[in-house]
Chains A and B, each alone.
Chain A
């Protein structure tokens, strides 16, 4: 350890104030352009080169349009789980979970234009104009998707907290490759994490589902 760092470690009155960086939060919003309707194509086009701190946007989630006011920093996951739309209703799609908050565990996996992505790592504004499918949109009404049926049949879930993410990733995998080998299943689901240890039965479930697709 360098002398300097020793000093730092043993120093008196170390103020943690220094860890608050720059100006306080909350000041940025006041200095930027007012919210605009970016979801509207025309408006978006007119305004694209203007910086916005927040905006009223439209998202296509599970084939329905949701209009919502978001900050630039709002993630898609935050909209799905905690968002309140412009009519005052909770979006309340809580199937996708925030688990690692870092784009590693797959708990928040949703389909964007059919491809699995981490909703915790996607800004809501970037999800405009795309088809978003959450776990709530996988079944056809009361008819479960073959992946969902197979997950139940094989007990491919325990606590179930990671299950929505695994279901969405499995559906995406089978949409791309409807007869995956075990290696391809592992690869396709490698962006999802389970702590209860349901993996072996998840692999079985995906194999079973693949036979029905």
Chain B
């Protein structure tokens, strides 16, 4: 880690003013720090100043009301995983949170940080490799080794978005509140994430002078079942080879609506409208669930080493769909 100076945040206003003059990388935000510090240790980022968000008041906590759930951006992943209301009514979120890394990381890592974490790509995380994300000309995964890379939405950068929580939030139609110099705005979590074709350097639309403040999740409709399925090579602390966040509104065995969001297979959490369409209005059985999986990967373009992810994704989707009727 290079040297940096450290500022404790006192208010959102102070944070945005400290951020406002700098571009990316000079002044950075730290909450749990579990992702940021690993970047600093590898010199992937070398900020001059870190702003410690943990000292901000009222940004940590989960509250439920008639409209749904509000989660402060500083809420730890562990608190989300273990929250009884989330476990019962927002199961996909609790399962996704519980699948993150290890207990030690979950105790420190925050939901805001989880959404803003940077890719795990082994080229990106190697200081000596100047890939497109770092201003170079090449996505090394294309001609290099690509076992853990994207099969969907890759061009020209084939990273995968590492978050488990993001797919769950999108599947739950969550929104997020962002503060910047011009004040507060709210957007769908789904709209927060971008593809490399729009911006190869960042994975979301957050500006250098903005900060994620809270997450809002509407009440799930009655008769909703939800699951997070995550495939990995090693039980922990692996990131997903592929994952599926599935939220199903069921009437008996009939799927009235389905939200299917994939993790680990694309540079952003990947909403599969194809799979959703294949399930909506159908009696869910083996054939229908398999069809949903097949539809989801129609547009997959695997690299040299990750064709298996096509099958894996397909299988996870159909497994999730079948769980909705079991």
* Segment at the interface with A among B32-40, B219-227, B250-258, B279-287: B32-40
**Can you report 27 residue pairs joining A to B where beta carbons are below 8 Å apart?**
A2-B143, A28-B2, A33-B5, A48-B10, A51-B49, A52-B7, A53-B4, A72-B6, A73-B40, A103-B104, A103-B105, A104-B102, A109-B104, A115-B78, A116-B104, A118-B105, A121-B105, A123-B37, A126-B33, A190-B103, A190-B236, A190-B237, A191-B102, A191-B104, A191-B105, A191-B237, A192-B102
* Segment at the interface with A among B50-58, B290-298, B311-319: B50-58
A143 contacts partner chain B, Cβ-Cβ < 8 Å: no
| A87-126, CB < 8 A from B | 101-104, 106, 109, 112, 115-118, 121-123, 125-126
Tell whether A22 pairs with B40 under 8 Å between CB atoms, given A48-B8, A122-B33.
Answer: no
B48 contacts partner chain A, Cβ-Cβ < 8 Å: yes
Tell whether A102 pairs with B41 under 8 Å between CB atoms, given A28-B4, A53-B5, A72-B4.
Answer: yes
Q: Total A-B residue pairs with C-beta atoms closer than 8 Å?
A: 125
A21 contacts partner chain B, Cβ-Cβ < 8 Å: yes
**Among B3, B8, B37, B143, contact of A121 (Cβ-Cβ < 8 Å):** B37
Q: How many residues of A contact B (CB 8 A)?
A: 50
Q: Which residues of chain A are near B137, meaning CB under 8 Å?
A: 2, 4-5
Query: Are the C-beta atoms of B108 and A121 separated by less than 8 Å?
Result: yes
A182 contacts partner chain B, Cβ-Cβ < 8 Å: no
**Among B10, B38, B48, B108, contact of A28 (Cβ-Cβ < 8 Å):** B48
Closest-by-CB residue of B relative to A115 is: B107
**Among A72, A109, A169, contact of B3 (Cβ-Cβ < 8 Å):** A72
Query: Are the C-beta atoms of A51 and B104 separated by less than 8 Å?
Result: no
Chain B 99-112 against A: per-residue CB contact (8 Å), 1 yes, 0 no? 00111110110000
| A149-175, CB < 8 A from B | 169, 172-173
Query: Are the C-beta atoms of A116 and B5 separated by less than 8 Å?
Result: no
Q: How large is the interface on B (under 10, 10 to 19, 20 to 34, 35 or more residues)?
A: 35 or more
**Interface residues of chain A: helix, strand, loop or mixed (majority):** mixed
Query: Are the C-beta atoms of A5 and B46 separated by less than 8 Å?
Result: no
Q: For B7, B30, B78, B143, which residue has the most chain A Cβ atoms within 10 angstroms?
A: B7
Query: Are the C-beta atoms of B52 and A126 separated by less than 8 Å?
Result: yes
A20 to chain B, nearest CB (A): 10
Query: Are the C-beta atoms of A28 and B5 separated by less than 8 Å?
Result: yes
Q: Which residues of chain B are near A53, meaning CB under 8 Å?
A: 3-6
B128 contacts partner chain A, Cβ-Cβ < 8 Å: yes
Q: Which residues of chain A are near B128, meaning CB under 8 Å?
A: 19
Q: In whole angstroms, what is the CA distance A121 to B42 when docked? A: 13
A26 contacts partner chain B, Cβ-Cβ < 8 Å: yes
Query: Are the C-beta atoms of A49 and B8 separated by less than 8 Å?
Result: yes
Q: In whole angstroms, what is the CA distance A98 to B2 when docked? A: 19
Query: Are the C-beta atoms of A49 and B33 separated by less than 8 Å?
Result: no
- Given A72-B4, A169-B103, A173-B103, 12 more A-B residue pairs with CB atoms under 8 Å apart are A21-B46, A28-B5, A49-B7, A49-B10, A55-B6, A72-B3, A103-B101, A104-B102, A106-B102, A190-B237, A191-B237, A192-B102
